[in-house]
Amino acid sequence: MHSDEKNAPLVARGRSVGVIGAGVMGQTLIQGLFESKAITRDQVWASAKTETTCQTVAAKLGIPVETDYRDRVANAGMILICVKPAQSAKVIATLKESALPPDTVMISIMAGVTIAQLEALLGTANPWIRAMPNTPCIVREGMTVICPGTHASSGHLAAAQKVFEAVGQCLATEESYFDAITALSGGGPAYQYLIMESFADAGVRVGLPRHMALRLVAQTAVGAARMVQASGRHPAALRDDVTTPAGCTIGGLLMLEDGKIRSVLARAIEEATKIAGNLGSAAQSAGSAAHSAGASTQKKDKHHA
């Protein structure tokens, strides 16, 4: 990223940032942008499905949050779509009904919905960025991967990077990796929590109080991850540093290997990758249904005319 792109404002003066889907991740991204001073409160609006949620989030963040956002789209310089994949067709249909500027940067965090699907649904030359963040964004330790659409420039990619670097680390890559990334880092926290839960239970089994076991496990996981990041060494080399001859660690490692832990974890990622590849089919089906319904309505209108 060039320095001028890095220092460029997130949106032009007088333009806004919209967040469609003010759930946990939508709120997290807004808060991260406030903390990083990338935007101010008067530059942001958001939407939610119910009036109750709108009122709660508006009070919490100090921004307008509405169920109907069509009037706000015309001023948007960037729109983040943070809804479930199955809602993609409905959201994009609403954007098509609005006066969406052709230069508005569209960022999607919807798992499994491809750039090609997004561009086809919207049917404009707006620049799209596809992103896959994970839940540690909530504590500003997220890992997000982004890729550009057909009409996205390096400047658009830099703007998206600024959004996600406000809540952790961000890496730009090719879209062909996204299903694997969805499985590995998108779902990865869930696997880590299961492993930590198992270790904590084991600590209780050998006599530790649960609160102590959880604290030991969590900080050990954080420390091990930081060692990998800071040292640049292979995890196997770092593991060898802990494994002394005839010690207790090698005994534990052999039990893990007896349980085929490597293949079990690898199979989990493999299965999740397959499922991730099918998540966008709901969006494709919904989009096709919406298109068919529209065509049917037009045909009926023509017949009545």
Residues 28 and 160 in one domain: yes
Residues 155 and 13 in one domain: yes
90 within a domain of the structure (yes/no): yes
Dist. CA 217–CA 41, nearest whole Å? 38
pLDDT score of 123: 96
152 within a domain of the structure (yes/no): yes
Residues 144 and 228 in one domain: no
300 within a domain of the structure (yes/no): no
Note the pLDDT tens digit of each residue in 209-221.
999 999 999 999 9
Average pLDDT over residues 115-138: 97
141 within a domain of the structure (yes/no): yes
Average pLDDT over residues 136-146: 98
Residues 87 and 159 in one domain: yes
Mean pLDDT of the chain: 92
Residues 8 and 44 in one domain: yes
Domain extent for 84:
3-174
216 within a domain of the structure (yes/no): yes
Residues 154 and 194 in one domain: no
pLDDT score of 7: 76
Average pLDDT over residues 201-213: 98
Q: How confident is the model at residue 8 (pLDDT cuts 50, 70, 90)?
A: confident
292 within a domain of the structure (yes/no): no
Q: What are phi and psi of 292, to 5 degrees?
A: -65, -40
Amino acid at 164: F
Where among 240, 259, 278 does a domain terminate?
A: 259
Q: Residues 63, 44: contact at Cβ < 8 Å?
A: yes
Where among 119, 145, 174 does a domain terminate?
A: 174
Average the pLDDT over each of 57-71, 173-187, 239-253, 283-297 and give the range with the smallest value. Answer: 283-297
Amino acid at 137: C
Structure token pair of residue 201 = 């239970």
Residues 11 and 159 in one domain: yes
What CATH number corresponds to the domain at position 86?
3.40.50.720
- 3-state DSSP of the chain: CCHHHHHCCCCCCCCEEEEECCCHHHHHHHHHHHHCCCCCHHHEEEECCCHHHHHHHHHHHCCCEECCCHHHHHHEEEEEECCCHHHHHHHHHHHHHCCCCCCCEEEECCCCCCHHHHHHHHCCCCCEEEEECCHHHHHCCEEEEEEECCCCCHHHHHHHHHHHHCCEEEEECCHHHHHHHHHHHHCHHHHHHHHHHHHHHHHHHCCCCHHHHHHHHHHHHHHHHHHHHHHCCCHHHHHHHHCCCCCHHHHHHHHHHHCCHHHHHHHHHHHHHHHHHHCHHHHHHHHHHHHHHHHHHHHHHHHHC
Dist. CA 115–CA 77, nearest whole Å? 19
Q: How confident is the model at residue 1 (pLDDT cuts 50, 70, 90)?
A: low
- For residue 287, pLDDT over 70 is answered with no
What CATH number corresponds to the domain at position 195?
1.10.3730.10
Q: How confident is the model at residue 279 (pLDDT cuts 50, 70, 90)?
A: confident
Count Cβ atoms below 10 Å from residue 300 Cβ, excluding itself: 10
Angle, in degrees to the nearest 10, between helices 115-122 and 280-304: 20
Count Cβ atoms below 10 Å from residue 109 Cβ, excluding itself: 23
Q: ∠ CA 179-184-185 to the nearest 5 degrees?
A: 105
This prediction's pTM: 0.89
Residues 17 and 127 in one domain: yes
- For residue 285, pLDDT over 70 is answered with no
Dist. CA 199–CA 29, nearest whole Å? 32
133 within a domain of the structure (yes/no): yes
Amino acid at 300: K
Residues 136 and 216 in one domain: no
- For residue 141, pLDDT over 60 is answered with yes
Residues 41 and 134 in one domain: yes
Dist. CA 97–CA 65, nearest whole Å? 19
Average pLDDT over residues 180-207: 97
pLDDT score of 297: 47
| Nearest in space to 111 (alpha carbons), one of 42, 192, 178, 196 | 178
271 within a domain of the structure (yes/no): no
- For residue 300, pLDDT over 70 is answered with no
Average pLDDT over residues 156-179: 97
Average pLDDT over residues 144-161: 97
Residues 166 and 193 in one domain: no
Where among 243, 259, 275 does a domain terminate?
A: 259
Dist. CA 77–CA 10, nearest whole Å? 8
What is the distance, to the nearest Å, from the Cα of residue 81 to the centroid of all Cα atoms in its chain? 10
Residues 25 and 160 in one domain: yes
Q: Domain tally for the chain? A: 2
